[in-house]
Structure 1
Amino acid sequence: MGDRANIFLVDTADTDIEPVVGIYLYTHRKGQDWPERLRQALITGPARLRWEDPQYLARILIDQLFSDLRDKAGGGVSTQLHDNDHPITIVDLTAGRVHWAKAGDEQHRDRWTASLGFAEFVTRGRAEYPTL
């Protein structure tokens, strides 16, 4: 059995656009660890230098989050939500914030919860899913 999770990368600065569009990063295994993996990816030197550059930051996060899957199956990138066992982690690349939402609510900004700026997110210690 897997432990599936998704991170939704959003880079639309226009907060009036609904539903929010972005790309999903999907893992089939160790989904419970993805908030911490995201924290570790955001804290790296290359990512910190690009916190205000959404396109570069997205590429760095994808590279970091899938580093253990190179040349293997077990994850993917899509414009649609894949199988999921956890709250959706939302990375608002333009606003520099991490949020969470229940699956199906991630495309609606008014349903995002537990919002943290990147600086606060990376310094709070081990990252875990909030209770929604």
Structure 2
Amino acid sequence: MEVSAVTAPGGALLASVRGLLGSSDDALLCVAFAQARGVHLIARELESSARRGRARVLVTTTLGATSEAAMTALRDGGASIRVLNPGGSTYHPKVYLGRRDGRTTAIIGSANLTSGLVANVEAATVLHGRDDEPPLSEL
């Protein structure tokens, strides 16, 4: 398994998310917050992934940071959206997952699907390997 780190600002984190979506035929984005600006940053690659297979987004609305404009942009890009608002806890992951041809790439870090992908100080670990290889097989 290949492991690397990416950060923002500077473009490396956004480039990694775009690369994941651009090469996946099964994409899953698990983020607490989605904003239209963040969706627009990855719109072309998200649409590409959805055309090749599927693109799914799991997001929360309980903290008020996910915008209706983001939800519309995600749907317009071909993504299916599931809203998770668990009682008694907060849904707060930042996981970008892509699969294709028996390989998985996971970007796990601090960045929501917002302009923070390019504007905030963010960090993430990138895992790339076979679908059946732990911990990728557990995602």
TM-score normalized with structure 2 length: 0.29
Write 1 or 2 for the structure with the bigger share of strand: 2
TM-score normalized with structure 1 length: 0.30
